[in-house]
Amino acid sequence: MAVMSEPEAVDGREAAEAAVPVRSASGPHELCVLMKLGEIVLKGSNRRLFERRLHNNIRAAARGLGEIKLTQRGAGVIIVRMPGGSDLEVAELAERMRNVMGVVWVHLVRRVPKDLDTVTATAVAALADRTGTFAVKARRRDKRFPLTSSEIARHVGSAVVAAHGLPVDLKRPANTVAIEVDKDEVFVFTDGIPGQGGLPVGMSGRALVLLSGGIDSPVAAHRMMRRGLKVDYLHFSGMPFTGPESIYKAYSLVRQLDRFQVGSRLFVVPFGKAQQQLKSSGVERLQIVAQRRLMLKTAEALADDLGAEALITGDALGQVSSQTMTNLTALDDAVDLPILRPLIGMDKTEIMDQARRIGTLTISELPDEDCCTLLTPRQVETAAKIPDLRQIEKRLDAEELAEHLVTTAQLHRPSFLGDSAPATV
Ligand code: ATP
Ligand code: MG
């Protein structure tokens, strides 16, 4: 058996759907989670900071599961153990780790002593109920181990053939058993699940997401968390002119997104009266763009209080009439903070696929009365003129209105652990 190459790093977009296989390796040895990291490996002198951030995020994601022990192995591998945890609890731990940004692969592994017979027996047991071809992939992080990687692979491979009679296929094996020799132990495992990839949340600073109840903005939030931003959420409801349904949706969306960043804050601003005010100031075709600008101004005022350095929206170029190039430019003009639009070049179908993968699509598709469908003019301006908008805002004193709206914000802390979880930020 020759050494197989490492699985290619994927961006982990399938991660939210596939289940972590509980069947990793059977045998008497401790089950734990081994994770492969991606870009974090490349970050040179920042590595320490990255690792500290990632370790904190891992601990936060494992909250409530019992005590865990974290070990960093070189730049690219983290081992998470749960001493005394049952296999089921460790499987739950692996499940949670799939959502931690910065992790590229999650493996449920058996941790065994550095003894060739034990390693071989564990690998043989791991393939016990498998059919089809197989390959052994061995690697040594500890080069002092008496056998080379290919010697280990050959030895274990022969034992598998003898025990199960499975045919070897090094190119496209149906089953792979991996053996990783470390300083104090050896890890044996079969399958891996792609993680989210990206950078640890918090590495890139803080931003505020404008979260509607729609499909796009939760996907935008996920994308930016994945690039290391810690986010807070701001939702505008049509209250008092609509029911609270959109707030429930925003709450459920944040609870789902909290899996990727533990300790989320959702601010809800009742926007109905402000929309009414805009309408009676005679904005007509400019209503939508004017109210989006007011949302952005309010978001900027809140971002200032929160120390957020950017705003995030789910805009995609040309998707709706308020998202033409001219209108987006008119939106940028409303605030000084940068507006990040990670979906700008994506098609709706791509965004929907992504929403499905991160588990927000079904929530976004629930019916609600969006604040923006309230008071929507029959005709929407596709080329809003900035001077016209500024003039309307001057009449209204939009800056002051935005400051006032921030004071009406209600804070919620939707947690993926449910409502009983202690709040952390
Ligand atoms: P989404 O699917 O995210 O609702 P959309 O395609 O419906 O987006 P718009 O309604 O024009 O497009 O909204 C564009 C962006 O403006 C949203 O992605 C979101 O970031 C922000 N936004 C719109 N409505 C609200 C709201 N009620 N509260 C907070 N942000 C909002
Ligand atoms: Mg919308």
Q: What are residue 18's phi and psi, to 5 degrees?
A: -65, 150
- Residue 131 makes CB contacts below 8 A (sequence gap 6+) with 166, 174
| Residue 417 confidence (pLDDT) | 87
* Share of residues in the chain with pLDDT > 70 (%): 88
What CATH number does the domain containing 302 carry? 3.40.50.620
Domain that holds residue 44: 30-194
**Are residues 190 and 219 part of one domain?**
no
What CATH number does the domain containing 131 carry? 3.30.2130.30
Quick check: 51 pLDDT over 50?
yes
Q: Residue ranges for the binding site?
A: 210-211, 235-236, 292, 314, 323
| Residue 243 confidence (pLDDT) | 87
> What is the number of structural domains in the chain?
2
Better-predicted residue by pLDDT, 422 or 352: 352
Atom number in ligand 1 closest to CA 271 = 27
Cα–Cα distance, 153 to 4 (Å, whole number): 9
Residue 23 falls within a domain, yes or no? no
Residue 224 falls within a domain, yes or no? yes
Cα 373 to ligand 2 centre (Å): 9
Cα 371 to ligand 2 centre (Å): 9
Residue 420 DSSP one-character state: T
Cα–Cα distance, 263 to 142 (Å, whole number): 38
Domain-ending residue, one of 194, 214, 244: 194
Take atom 26 of ligand 1 and give the residue whose Cα is closest. Answer: 212
Its pTM stands at 0.89
Among 15, 30, 101, CA closest to 61: 101
235: amino acid identity, one letter: H
Cα 84 to ligand 1 centre (Å): 46
Residue 24 falls within a domain, yes or no? no
**Are residues 355 and 332 part of one domain?**
yes
- Is 270's C-beta closer than 6 angstroms to any atom of ligand 1? no
**Are residues 356 and 216 part of one domain?**
yes
Take atom 23 of ligand 1 and give the residue whose Cα is closest. Answer: 212
**Are residues 252 and 177 part of one domain?**
no
When pLDDT is cut at 50, 70 and 90, the band that residue 20 belongs to is: very low
**Are residues 320 and 173 part of one domain?**
no
Q: Cβ distance 68 to 55 under 8 Å?
A: no
Residue range 160-182, pLDDT digits in tens: 999 999 999 999 999 999 999 99
| Residue 226 confidence (pLDDT) | 97
When pLDDT is cut at 50, 70 and 90, the band that residue 9 belongs to is: very low
Q: What are residue 189's phi and psi, to 5 degrees?
A: -155, 160
Take atom 22 of ligand 1 and give the residue whose Cα is closest. Answer: 212
Burial bucket for residue 104 (CB in 10 Å: 0-12, 13-18, 19+)? buried
- Ligand nearest to the backbone CA of 292: 1
Cα 17 to ligand 1 centre (Å): 25
Atom number in ligand 1 closest to CA 219 = 3
Residue 421 falls within a domain, yes or no? no
Residue range 290-328, pLDDT digits in tens: 999 999 999 999 999 999 999 999 999 988 777 889 899
- Ligand nearest to the backbone CA of 267: 1
**Are residues 252 and 114 part of one domain?**
no
